[in-house]
A and B are shown apart, each in its own frame.
Chain A
Amino acid sequence: MTTTPADGPAAESSSELATEHVAMLVKAATGGDQRSWDELVRRHARLVWSIARAHGLAAADAADVSQTVWLRLVEYVGTLREPTRLPGWLSTAARRESLRVLHGQSKETLDSEMVEHMAGNVAESPEVQVIAADRARQVWAALRLLPRNCQVLLRALAASAEMHYAQIAQGLNIPVGSIGPTRQRCIKQLRTALASVTGS
């Protein structure tokens, strides 16, 4: 069973086994196997969600994007030529749907919503976690200072495994030749923003 809570980015080992496993899960899901599908969702739901949210969508719109993307995958799962490129496929779909929704709406409700959510979580936390939460709040605040494309890239990368970095970047429409430099530039901007947020 797959009841473990979502793991960090390092949870999926960057081994060939993991890659082959994804292909097996996709194949089984194509035949209607719910447990394999659930595992695919568990591994990739955060990637889809993060891309939608980093585009500036409110929670309800990001939920719409997520549902559309997963339904699209149900349509296309049987025709995926390279199952191991699923993270890239999902990134492309999430980006497209996010832009589609973004073009049809007028106002952002993201900021206040997220601040509230953060405050709620922090209030419930024991003292040790408050310190961690303070750091997380700083990282979050710094992230929100970045240009949109950096927010999308960094959140997508953080929500996935390092081995999928190239295909996710491609899925986010970053030209192959500038994938590395773009990541480094965004990381550098995050460091600078973090320094200004923490006052160091």
Chain B
Amino acid sequence: MHQAAENGTGLGHRQLTPPRRPDIIGRDDGIAMTTWPDEERELLAEVARAAELADPVPSEVLEAARASLTWLRVDAELAELLADSESASRAVRSEQGSRLVSFAAGDVAIDLEVIAAGDTRRLVGQMSPAGAVDIEIRHAVSGSATQIPIDDLGRFSAEGVPPGLISLVSTPPGAAVPIATTWIRI
């Protein structure tokens, strides 16, 4: 709130403010927030009611959002997406070709090839440096997590993976914590 400063002389000091300037009610991270005119607020409330009636959030969407927390790995380091041959993940579904995806966390890299095979996907990957024993494929829609063995050269593969969001988790050789890749839609 703006408040007129008292000047201590006993004379009220009236602050000059532009006539139509809305009251500043608070700050939202550096940006002055202003109150909205009542009719704007009412109109937005009507938009909210209309959206609630015409396009409510489906219960299964809420359920999936709530279930996301089960994938929290506080111990894991995040492996970010470095490259993706299909920036639009949907494109891979309509083509028979494969998609190449790379993740990295520090010196650890995971390269993954996603091959469309009918209704499912084949995954062929390599983790470097080699030496990890296995890698876990986490599948968000089914809620499943599958352990896949890794060979001496760091290679792994999985057949029949259903489409959807997946993330890979593995502990590199000598590492204290596992790495978990960011989620990608295959």
A residues sitting closer than 8 Å to B (CB atoms) are 6, 8-10, 14, 16, 29-32, 34, 37-38, 41-42, 45-46, 48-50, 53, 59, 62-64, 66-68, 70-78, 82, 84-85, 88, 100-101, 103-105, 114, 117-118, 121-122, 132-133, 135-137, 139-140, 143, 154-155, 157-159, 162-167, 170, 176, 179-180, 183, 187, 190-191
Contacts and interface: CB of A to CB of B under 8 A. Distances in A.
A143 B50 CA distance: 9
Contacts of B48: 8-9, 158-159
A118 B57 CA distance: 13
Interface stretch (B5-13, B60-68, B120-128): B60-68
B12 to A, nearest CB: 30
B186 interface: no
Given A63-B58, A191-B43, A167 B28 contact: yes
B28 A166 contact: yes
A179 B90 contact: no
Interface string B78-103: 10000000011111000000000000
Contact of B183 (A75, A154, A159): A75
Given A59-B58, A103-B88, A143 B78 contact: no
B74 A31 contact: yes
A6 B66 CA distance: 15
B24 interface: no
A14 B51 contact: no
Contacts of B89: 100-101, 104
Contacts of B61: 45, 49, 62-63, 66-67
A103 B89 CA distance: 9
B33 A163 contact: yes
Contacts of B141: 67
Given A121-B53, A154-B44, A176 B31 contact: yes
Interface of B: 25-26, 28-29, 31, 33-34, 36, 40-41, 43-58, 60-62, 64-66, 68-69, 71-72, 74, 78, 87-91, 140-141, 165, 167, 180, 182-183, 185
A23 to B, nearest CB: 13
A183 B28 CA distance: 16
B62 to A, nearest CB: 5
A122 to B, nearest CB: 8
Contacts of A31: 74
A24 to B, nearest CB: 16
A136 B78 contact: no
26 contacts: A8-B48, A30-B74, A34-B66, A41-B66, A46-B51, A49-B57, A66-B57, A67-B61, A67-B64, A68-B165, A72-B182, A74-B69, A74-B71, A85-B29, A88-B29, A100-B88, A100-B89, A101-B88, A117-B54, A136-B46, A140-B53, A154-B47, A157-B44, A166-B29, A176-B31, A180-B34
